[in-house]
Structure 1
């Protein structure tokens, strides 16, 4: 693993927040993810850099899909990278509880999307409306999920459907050694199979993942053979 711009992990604080900066750009963001660190704003003009002591990850063979979700998924067409900016806008909606995506985040992640490093997975209704989706950064065999949303009126379980699609993309590239980072395990994410590993366990897995090639991100509808991969069912 390349040297971290945040110094040796052994010297990081015993806290999820390991540093902060005034500067913020695409190069620093990529270097941070390669170091096991991700950004979130912590105040006006200040970016916090986090490496949780207990990291949420979703094992690719551990995704839990309920029978009701399996039925709901069939309502949607899953697509890759066809509406990234709209997904980002919906995730950034300031009326959402816990909204954190600010102008700096939007600018840099849009730049990284155009560079082919940030991707969206979208769930569309049969009549062509965006019902839900997610976005995150893909570096080597790491996919770090950033945010997800669903439309309250038309998007029942649409963000979960997008997650199923994401796992299919990652598994299609060969699941061994790949890492799906969920940042923190919440009660909601736990129902989908997200588990916790400690910081240094995560960094060990990250070092393996970064040696892998990224998945092939093809803009457009998710291949039917991928979306019908058989995840675990509760």
Structure 2
């Protein structure tokens, strides 16, 4: 098998052509057109400052079926007591910047480089990338996550927390919000113990691509995401 070098046109080889570790292609750019083409094909960028842009399609793939979300008793208690408040798309740039600064064991730096931030901010302004913000009682941003949405799939990119359980708190609200809009699943991309503890499961690439195709039959929910009137209180009741 070979790793493909991308041409100027924003197209990709089929994900089945990926190496055993999931690496599919190298090069190209981070234009909105190429990024959206990648996500529509089940491909995502992941690289560091020492390498060119690398494009991946993992097998197996980690996804969260929305009815499989696991919320710990501790987080449920925090939701019940409303220790934090959740918003969508209120401060995308702060969320992605905090994700870039997050320390990750075993990693010397971050893959969320300045050009990644710039590219996803553009996607946010186009209505395809979304953020979840978690605020404490003093109005400080203490957690959150961001990702890309096409059709009825949300592809999570990264999350951060500055206070205990803040990202789990926000993720729980996001999952229920997506359920309310009949989204199919959350693409968690890379397997981590943290995401598995929240209910995410590995599926084959073939199964993932089938699920992705079904989700893409629906139009993207573009623009700023928000809670409908009364929805936040209802979600709090469901989650707690």
Please confirm whether the aligned pair reaches a TM-score higher than 0.5, indicating the same fold: yes
Distance change in 2, residues 1:50/1:9 (3 Å)? closer
| Counterpart for residue 166 of structure 2 | 158
In 1, Cα distance between equivalents of 2:42 and 2:102:
27
1:139–1:210 contact (8 Å) kept in structure 2: yes
Deviations 1:125-168 (A, max 9, x none): 111011100000011111100000000xxx21000011101102
Q: Does 1:228 align with 2:236?
A: yes
The correspondence for 1:121, drawn from 127, 132, 146, is: 132
| Counterpart for residue 167 of structure 1 | 175
Secondary structure of 2:78 counterpart: helix
The 5 A counterparts of 1:1-234 are 5-44=11-50, 46-73=52-79, 74-93=82-101, 95-97=103-105, 98=107, 99-151=110-162, 155-175=163-183, 178-215=184-221, 218=224, 223-228=231-236, 230-231=238-239
In 2, Cα distance between equivalents of 1:221 and 1:122:
13
1:82–1:220 contact (8 Å) kept in structure 2: no
In 2, Cα distance between equivalents of 1:218 and 1:169:
13
Distance change in 2, residues 1:134/1:100 (3 Å)? same
Structure 1's unaligned 5+ residue stretches are: none
Taking only aligned residues, the RMSD between alpha carbons, in angstroms, comes to 2.2
Deviations 1:49-96 (A, max 9, x none): 011111110110000001111112320111001111110110011755
In 2, Cα distance between equivalents of 1:162 and 1:79:
8
Aligned residue-pair number: 224
- Per mean C-alpha deviation after superposition, the further-off stretch among 215-224 and 205-214 is 215-224
Secondary structure of 1:85 counterpart: helix
2:49–2:111 contact (8 Å) kept in structure 1: no
In 1, Cα distance between equivalents of 2:32 and 2:116:
10
Secondary structure of 1:65 counterpart: coil
- Per mean C-alpha deviation after superposition, the further-off stretch among 178-187 and 189-198 is 178-187
Distance change in 2, residues 1:197/1:23 (3 Å)? same
Distance change in 2, residues 1:53/1:96 (3 Å)? closer
- Per mean C-alpha deviation after superposition, the further-off stretch among 53-62 and 212-221 is 212-221
Decide which structure has greater strand share: 1
2:92–2:130 contact (8 Å) kept in structure 1: yes
- Per mean C-alpha deviation after superposition, the further-off stretch among 21-30 and 138-147 is 21-30
Deviations 1:100-134 (A, max 9, x none): 10011011000000111100011111110111000
